[in-house]
Amino acid sequence: MLIKQSQDDGGGEVVTWKISPVNDRLRMVTSKQMTGMALHPCSNNEKHSSIESTKKWHSSLLGMSRCTASARNLDMCGTAPGGCEGVEDTQSPFRTPPSLSYRCSEVASDGGPEQLGVGQHKKTLLDLLDQVEDAIMEEELPADVENKGQQLINGDTSNISSPIANSDINLPSQKPLDAPPFDSFLVLEVSEKRKGDNLPCDRYPVKVLRLLNEHRGKEYAVYLCDEWFHSLIGPGDTVSVIGEFTDQGICVVDRDKNLVVVHPELLISGTRVASSFHCPRRSVLDDRLKSNEYSTSALIGTLLHQVFQAGLLEDIPSRQFLEQQAKEVLLKNIESLYACGASESNTLKMLFEAIPKILNWYKCFMKVSTCTSVDFGQTEGQKTIGVVEVMDIEEMAWAPRYGLKGIIDASVRTRVSCNGSSYDRVMPLEFKTGKGTSGLTAVEHNAQVILYTLLMTERYLSKDIDLGLLYYLHTDQTLGIKVKRSNLIGLIMRRNELATEILKASVSQCFPPMIQVHGGNATSSGLGDLFDNLVNHLTVAHHTFLKHWDRLIDLEARASQVKKKDIFQPHHSNPGRRNSAPCYFVLDIKNEHSIDSSGKSKRYIYTFLRQKMQSETADQPDAQVESVDFSLKCGDSVVLSTQSGRIAVANGYIRDLSRSHITVSLPRRLRLPGSNSLLEQEDLQCELWRIDKDESISSFATMRLNLIQLFAQNPQNSHLRKLIVDLEAPRFDSGGLLSQDPALSYIRSLPNLNNDQQRSLHKILAAKDYALILGMPGTGKTYTMVHAVKSLLMRGESILLTSYTNSAIDNLLMKLKTEGVDFLRIGRHEAVHPDIKGHCLSTTDAQSVDAIKARMEQVQVVGVTCLGIYHPLLAHKKFDTCIMDEAGQITLPVSLGPLMLATKFVLVGDHYQLPPLVQSSEARENGMGVSLFWRLSEAHPQAISALRCQYRMSSGIMELSNSLIYGDRLSCGSLEIANSKLKLSGREPVHLKLKEILNPDRAVVFANTDEVPALEAKEHRTVNNPTEAFIVSWITNELLKRGVAQDGIGIITPYNAQANIIQQHVDALVEVHTIDKYQGRDKECIIVSFVRSSGNSRASGSSLLGDWHRINVVLTRAKKKLIMVGSAATLSTIPLLRLTVEMVAARGGQLDLTNKDVQSIRELKSSRLNVQ
């Protein structure tokens, strides 16, 4: 840990911040540890993180993905103009042509083991690693990151059968298996068999996939025949098999039966699959990039959808009803209308003009007595259709088995009559508002409906959904779509190829080739000089920067994708892993759901109670059920699934949570798909619910868009590019600030500003490009920012306030509110602080485009998160200054977005505390954890103005971080702060050691547990320390008895598992959090549980405790009392913690607890319980 520090422009004095005083001592400690170390053979009793890392890599998306670089034919959509109906199976418009198979080096042929490909080597490696599984213990990750390195192979594969080199598979006899909702397989080997081989099918050639069930640890074989032979599948890929296996573990996939889905963990929208027939490259780019364009025609389509869907939910929709709905829909989307620059009157006129056709459709289909004939093609012919029930609108559906997702316009139950018989059938209804109703457009629309039937099959757990309706508003025509096997094969194969192309783009940044236009050639792709005109302003350094950060974003996106597999696999949770098992809830039956109408749309509020699972066993009588997952927090986007296997039943946001409950805000009423409306509530109450954080991929698309826009050819972005990529030095007003500057007069009038705060404000006012404010712990950076905003307003400047979190923005805005500053808050209604919601642009404030335009021109201060800057309200808004809080915790690509909306910017943060949260270890090692704040401060330390006078910690607490991290730059703001002590009441006699721990005169105490001992416990891949948790809970309860308020105590631990244990034994109002959750927070008294304590006194320097940023956060949260509990011997293997323990001990703050001390505490606690 060599801390590179910066410079501060304090009163003309140049202070060197390059080397911290602690660095020499760290080098000395490290060199002492290295002396005498020698390499020795691996022991089964030792923990080798490098082996685990190797295994994680081979089990990750990156390590397991093999994307072929071979060319492929793009012309795969056919020429059938009329869609699916009436087309024979052999002429499917979705049939894909033969693709090139994997090159020979990647495929095992018919030979023996010596010819096995890379898959065999991976399998052998996995077998080897599983044999030493007990010798591997992975460091638990912090909240929001703990699943980062989760293996894709979750089952025990130690009992895998021997490698099979040929096609004669002889596995133990098993009953045929139906694939569960999502049961993925790892492809171990791919071979091709020709005529003459002993095969279970009579079609040649055949591609044989040797598969490993990732959860059961058993091998299977899949034979791909006919069209499936040309599938691009290689060793290391993951597949889902829709079909049954024989007793011998074999499944044949051909044109008549069964399906194979490649990379099913990539959920691709049905719309994207359908559109990829025309241009695969566009589909891949759409998947990777967020669109920031606002189209009037697309908006009108959205409005018409909403009007149509509103009518579907009405029993007898009338013209007056639909016209009123059109007005309400227009008002609800008024911000988007403003972004498009469209006319309200013209838009409303277009909506009104469509109402007669919509009413006619209702008349034809919504009354069963007047059902309408619909053509389902030559094979199915005419069927009479009537809508019996509208089950849902805008229904979100995930189908991991098929690797698909989508939002269905309407899910309807219909009465189908044909040849004198009738039956009810659930089907999707797709509503199209555009003018394209034939040719390739019609093919895409047919494909969408077919894929939606697959989604509904999974969502409604029904195999009978094979029909769909497609309504064209433009022609007032309704078509029937019948799912045919040939069409389904073509669509699934296209989906597989698109998944491979998307994954290939994320691994190698290679995209499908461009479609050539008339007059073009392979070299120019038809662009001619246009390509050069678009990129000739970029240098080699620009190209390198762009490619580097694009790759880092892809690495992080893939790490996030791995986490999402947990949601797909509700049946595979290992009950033996208490800390990794999912947390289940039941619906609160005492309190019915409520409706929140305060926002633009109604929100349905449901409360779920923590389900008490039977985790106690005979040998674990004291086992406790975990509390709510620490990785969840208010405002998070979540997905609701059921224990019975229904995935993504609903999605919403966390509104409130505690140890025992979670309250969720949903966009519509919660219901189980296909449930009887009369028994709906009863069905909901019978389910066990799982609530998972929805790791949104949209943030990565926004990051890529930010990165690309940085290199756009326009003056604003060109200037920003010079500052960020080329690292040109920032400019400051060299002539000094004018004395008549009203902002300067305002600063002079503030009596409570210290010298550092004044210099920082002067730095901001003098900046022409950017300024960096280093806000050390407790130095009043929020107070400084408030006056920076007011100073800039004195100059008439407009200001964009931003940060990564909603809480950081709202904290600053609440301070501005008390100062009487007018501002606009942009953000999701559920995520905005209640005290700030009055400053959001509600429907009462924005009744028209003109009203929005007037407000946006009038307001000078706008607050929005970094990922919210593409909000329609900001489509036409530019700012003079952007102020970014918590800049040290924001990744560079995320930071770019807000900066492109302003002429200059101010970054406020502390890169000596937590860096950006990066889940991918590879991305982190390659620089994604380096924030823009860090990058600029290292390049131009003269741009930094540091806040060093702190008002939080007493002098005894401050000395730790000041000496170890900040190079003695910190100082106390007053004698009162420096000498502050924790106030205790009550004279109850206590244990001697506890009395010393609680002694208010000892600001910092380290309770050493080496002599107890308090050894860590490892459960699968988590670590906790029950004895340490007992000591911490005892100290906490004693503090409460002596008058310390619950909200004055904070407990910090690096590990979620330890936080869960401690939480069960302390007062519910005492905050227990991981280190990452305590960034930016403080308490009167902080108690730290370090957890790590092993018999051989070794702790991983690369663990959470080895991150000096986190230790800095731990040391700077307490105001008056800091109590640390841990093993001095174990912690001393980590250089910074060794120095910390030594400093505390040198000041007389180390107390050595013994086993006798702990036993006497237990006896004292027991005696008190008996008295009570």
Statement to judge: residues 978 and 835 lie in one domain = no
Rounded CA-CA distance 872/818 in Å is 28
Mean pLDDT of 538-555: 94
What would the mean pLDDT of 886-893 be, rounded to a whole number? 96
Whether pLDDT at 615 is above 60: no
Does the residue 1136 lie in any domain? yes
The number of distinct structural domains making up the chain is 4
The answer on pLDDT for 819 being more than 90 is: yes
For residue 279, which amino acid is it?
C
Within this chain, do residues 932 and 1051 fall inside the same structural domain, yes or no? no
Evaluate whether 1026 touches 1019 at the Cβ level (below 8 Å).
no
Which strand (E) or helix (H) includes residue 1059?
helix 1056-1063
For the ranges 102-111, 636-645, 674-683, 815-824, the maximum mean pLDDT occurs at 815-824
Residue 184 binned pLDDT confidence (cut-offs 50, 70, 90): confident
3-state secondary structure of 283: helix
C-alpha dihedral sign at 477, 482, 486, 490: positive
The DSSP line for 98-119 is: P-PPPPGGGS--SS-GGG--HH
Distance, in Å, from the CA atom of 785 to the CA atom of 884, rounded to the nearest integer, reads 10
Highest mean pLDDT among 97-106, 669-678, 1000-1009: 1000-1009
Q: What pLDDT does 71 receive?
A: 35
End-of-domain residue from the set 479, 497, 515: 497
Does any domain span residue 776? Answer: yes
| Residue pair 687/672 in contact by the 8 Å Cβ criterion | yes
pLDDT band at 624 (very low <50, low <70, confident <90, very high): very low
pLDDT at 993: 78
Are 243 and 348 found together in one domain? no
What's the CA gap between 972 and 961, in Å, rounded? 13
What does the alpha-carbon distance between residue 561 and residue 572 come to, in Å, rounded to a whole number?
18
Are 225 and 168 in the same domain?
yes
Domain harbouring 924, CATH code: 3.40.50.300
Residues 804 and 841 grouped into a single domain: yes
Q: Tell me whether residue 770 is exposed, middle or buried, using C-beta atoms within 10 angstroms of its C-beta: 0 to 12, 13 to 18, 19 or more.
A: buried
508-529 core/surface letters (b: 16 or more CB in 10 A; e: else)? eeebbebeeeeeeeeebeeeee
Task: Give the pLDDT of residue 16.
Answer: 33
**Is 753 part of a structural domain of the chain?**
yes
**pLDDT at 1166 > cutoff 80:** no
- The average pLDDT across 129-140 equals 40
Give residue 876's pLDDT: 94
| Span 799-819, average pLDDT | 95
Q: Is residue 42 part of a domain?
A: no
Using pLDDT thresholds of 50, 70 and 90, give the confidence band for residue 873.
Answer: very high
Q: Using the 3D structure, point to which of 200, 231, 262 is the last residue of a domain.
A: 262
- Do residue 844 and residue 765 come from a single domain? yes
Residue among 1145, 1135, 1156, 1124 at smallest CA distance from 1013: 1156
Q: How confident is the model at residue 728 (pLDDT cuts 50, 70, 90)?
A: very high
At 817 the pLDDT is: 96
pLDDT band at 197 (very low <50, low <70, confident <90, very high): low
**DSSP labels for 842-908?**
-TTT-SSHHHHHHHHHH--EEEEEGGGTT-GGGTT--EEEEEETTGGGS-HHHHHHHHTTEEEEEEE
Closest CA to 146 of 555, 579, 576, 554: 579
How far apart are alpha carbons 688 and 550 in whole angstroms? 40
C-alpha triplet 115, 119, 123: angle, nearest 5°: 110
> Residue 88: inside a domain, yes or no?
no
**287 and 244 assigned to the same domain:** no
Task: Give the count of beta carbons closer than 10 Å to the beta carbon of residue 367.
Answer: 13
**pLDDT digit string, tens, across residues 404-451:** 999 999 999 999 998 888 999 999 999 999 988 888 899 999 999 999
Find out whether 64 and 236 touch, Cβ atoms under 8 Å.
yes
Q: Can you tell me the mean pLDDT for 968-990?
A: 88
Q: For the CA atoms of 440, 442, 446, 447, what is the dihedral angle to 10 degrees?
A: 30
The confidence band for 122, taking pLDDT boundaries of 50, 70 and 90, is: very low
Residue with token string 């066990």: 688
Write out the two tokens for 717.
């972005």
Minimum mean pLDDT among 143-147, 534-538, 580-584, 1077-1081: which range? 143-147
Instruction: Verify that 222 and 134 share a domain, yes or no.
Output: yes
> What is the reported pLDDT for 117?
38
Spatial distance between the Cα atoms of 333 and 1074, rounded to a whole number of angstroms: 40
Assign residue 478 the CATH number of its domain.
3.90.320
Question: What would the mean pLDDT of 1152-1163 be, rounded to a whole number?
Answer: 81
**Residue 929 shares a structural domain with residue 984:** no
Instruction: Return the minimum-mean-pLDDT range out of 209-218, 224-233, 937-946, 956-965.
Output: 209-218
- Residue-wise pLDDT for 224-241, tens only, equals 999 999 999 999 999 999
Same domain, 968 and 942: no
What pLDDT, on the 0 to 100 scale, is given for residue 647? 87
In a domain, 551, yes or no: no
Range of the domain at 942: 714-947
> Residue 77's pLDDT is what?
34
13 Cβ contact partners less than 8 Å away, ≥ 6 residues apart: none
Look at the block and give the residue holding tokens 């027991």.
Answer: 1166
Is pLDDT of 524 > 70?
Answer: no
pTM: 0.82
Looking at the chain, the whole-number percentage of residues with pLDDT higher than 90 is: 56
Find the mean pLDDT for residues 562-577.
60
DSSP run (H or E) holding 880: strand 879-884
pLDDT reported for residue 570: 57
Q: Enumerate residues 6+ apart whose C-beta is below 8 A from 987.
A: none
pLDDT at 820 over 50: yes
Report how far apart, in Å, the C-alpha atoms of 1058 and of each of 696, 1090, 1102, 1152 are.
Answer: 28, 9, 19, 22
Ranking 44-53, 320-329, 918-927 by mean pLDDT, the lowest is: 44-53
Residue 579 has pLDDT above 80, yes or no: no
| Separation of CA 196 from chain center | 51
Which pLDDT score, from 0 to 100, does residue 114 have? 34
Least trusted range by pLDDT, from 265-279, 663-677, 1085-1099 = 1085-1099
Judge if 1014 and 922 occupy the same domain: no
Residues above pLDDT 70, as percent of the chain:
76
In the structure encoding, which two tokens stand for residue 701, read together?
């698309």
Exposure b/e, 1094-1103, CB count within 10 A at least 16 = b: beeeebbbeb
How far apart CA 1149 and CA 1167 sit, in angstroms, is 29
Query: What would the two tokens of residue 656 be?
Result: 């409130």
Query: Does the pLDDT value for residue 321 go beyond 70?
Result: yes
C-alpha 557/C-alpha 60 separation (Å) is: 12
For tokens 């620009």, the residue is 542
Residue 474 has pLDDT above 60, yes or no: yes
The Cα–Cα gap between 464 and 257 comes to 16
Which of 464, 497, 530 lies at the terminal end of a domain, its last residue?
497
Which two structure tokens, joined as six digits, stand for 1014?
A: 């308090």
Summary mean pLDDT of the chain: 80
- Cβ atoms of 47 and 135 closer than 8 Å: yes
pLDDT at 483 over 60: yes
pLDDT at 597 over 90: no
Q: How confident is the model at residue 92 (pLDDT cuts 50, 70, 90)?
A: low
Same domain, 1012 and 1159: yes
What are the helix (H) ranges across 140-279?
270-275
Other CB atoms within 10 Å distance of the CB of residue 1084: 18
- Using pLDDT thresholds of 50, 70 and 90, give the confidence band for residue 1112: very high
Confidence label for 106 from pLDDT (cuts 50, 70 and 90): very low
Q: HSE-up of 935 (CA within 13 Å, CB side)?
A: 21
Q: What pLDDT shows up at residue 63?
A: 37
Q: Exposed, middle or buried by CB within 10 Å (0-12, 13-18, 19+), for 752?
A: exposed
The predicted pLDDT at position 988 comes to 64
pLDDT value, residue 593: 85
Contact in structure between 864 and 809 (CB atoms under 8 Å): yes
pLDDT, residue 486, reads 93
Residue 626 lies in a domain: no
Assess whether pLDDT exceeds 90 at residue 721.
yes
Q: Is the pLDDT of residue 24 over 50?
A: no
854 or 96, which is more confident? 854
In a domain, 454, yes or no: yes
- Cα–Cα distances in angstroms (integers) from residue 2 to residues 32, 546, 1105, in the given order: 17, 28, 16
Q: pLDDT grade, residue 1171 (50/70/90)?
A: very low
Question: What pLDDT, on a 0 to 100 scale, did the predictor assign at position 198?
Answer: 66
| Interstrand relation of 8-10 and 13-15 (parallel, antiparallel or unpaired) | antiparallel
CA-wise closest residue to 829 among 652, 631, 628: 652
Question: What pLDDT is stored for residue 525 in this prediction?
Answer: 52
Residue 883 pLDDT > 80: yes
The top-scoring range by mean pLDDT among 786-790, 847-851, 1012-1016 is: 786-790
β-sheet bridge partners, residue 1089: 1125
Give the separation between CA 1058 and CA 1021, rounded to whole angstroms. Answer: 13
Average pLDDT of the segment spanning 341-366: 94
